């Protein structure tokens, strides 16, 4: 069943990701992840169609910002899952059992405090925590998605732009949404997603990708 604006239903995407995203010994939330990927790709297709319309320039840039945030979240989640699937994601072998705050002492006019933490060894390791930056660095340093330097460069650039969701993330003068989000960034996002979907992680045919993700090739309308 087709959604409004001829947006593909989530089942179209679900069948694709079910072949790739599966439970393993450290990850058992494949059903939930698959659904999240389906929802977000459907939303990307919707945003693509929104951007085909004539929009106020500020609204257009903010829509592209949303596109980048959603696209980057997809890239991050697929990268994390890939590390799960090849046992490269950080695991915790110890769990914090108790913590005791020490007394404050003065040494050479400096106040010092030594806290004590007690950890218990886990019988079965559990998933730890990795930042978006550390996930990207591991993927890129080991070239897990193949010899594709353009893909890795785009992944890093989009990760940095995704952090602009924090409105106080301002590093230089004129570092604001109007200057950061434009058609060029939109095309970088679609390019990064296409390259990732073409990688060895999916081993998909061109025909399959064009059928499901053809909207990633749509051009934005030019001003007259």
Q: What is the pLDDT of residues 70-101, one digit of tens each?
A: 999 999 999 999 999 998 899 889 999 999 99
Q: Is the pLDDT confidence value at 1 over 50?
A: no
CA distance 71 to 43: 10
CA distance 179 to 160: 14
| Mean pLDDT of the 45-68 span | 92
How many C-beta atoms surround the C-beta of residue 76 within 10 A?
18
pLDDT band at 40 (very low <50, low <70, confident <90, very high): very high
pLDDT band at 115 (very low <50, low <70, confident <90, very high): very high
Contact 109, 55 (CB under 8 A): no
Torsion from C-alpha of 49, 54, 58, 61, nearest 10 degrees: 40
Q: What is the pLDDT of residues 137-156, one digit of tens each?
A: 999 999 999 899 999 999 99
Share the mean pLDDT of the chain: 89
pTM as predicted: 0.84
pLDDT for res 169? 66
CA distance 128 to 151: 26
Q: Is the pLDDT confidence value at 190 over 60?
A: yes
Tell me which residue has tokens 């060029």.
184
């Amino acid at each position: 069943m087709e959604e409004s604006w001829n947006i593909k239903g989530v089942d179209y995407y679900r069948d694709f990701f079910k072949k790739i995203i599966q439970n393993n010994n450290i990850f058992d939330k494949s059903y939930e992840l698959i659904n999240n990927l389906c929802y977000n790709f459907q939303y990307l297709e919707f945003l693509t169609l929104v951007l085909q319309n004539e929009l106020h320039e500020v609204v257009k840039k903010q829509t592209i910002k949303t596109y980048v945030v959603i696209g980057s979240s997809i890239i991050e989640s697929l990268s994390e899952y890939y590390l799960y699937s090849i046992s490269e994601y950080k695991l915790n072998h110890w769990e914090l059992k108790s913590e005791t705050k020490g007394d404050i002492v003065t040494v050479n006019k400096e106040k010092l405090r030594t806290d004590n933490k007690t950890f218990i060894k886990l019988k079965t390791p559990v998933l730890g925590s990795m930042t978006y930056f550390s996930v990207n660095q591991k993927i890129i340093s080991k070239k897990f998605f193949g010899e594709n330097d353009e893909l890795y460069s785009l992944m890093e650039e989009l990760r940095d732009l995704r952090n602009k969701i924090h409105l106080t993330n301002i590093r230089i003068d004129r570092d604001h949404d109007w200057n950061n989000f434009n058609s060029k960034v939109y095309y970088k996002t679609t390019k990064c997603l296409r390259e990732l979907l073409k990688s060895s992680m999916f081993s998909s045919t061109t025909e399959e990708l064009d059928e499901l993700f053809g909207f990633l090739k749509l051009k934005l309308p030019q001003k007259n």
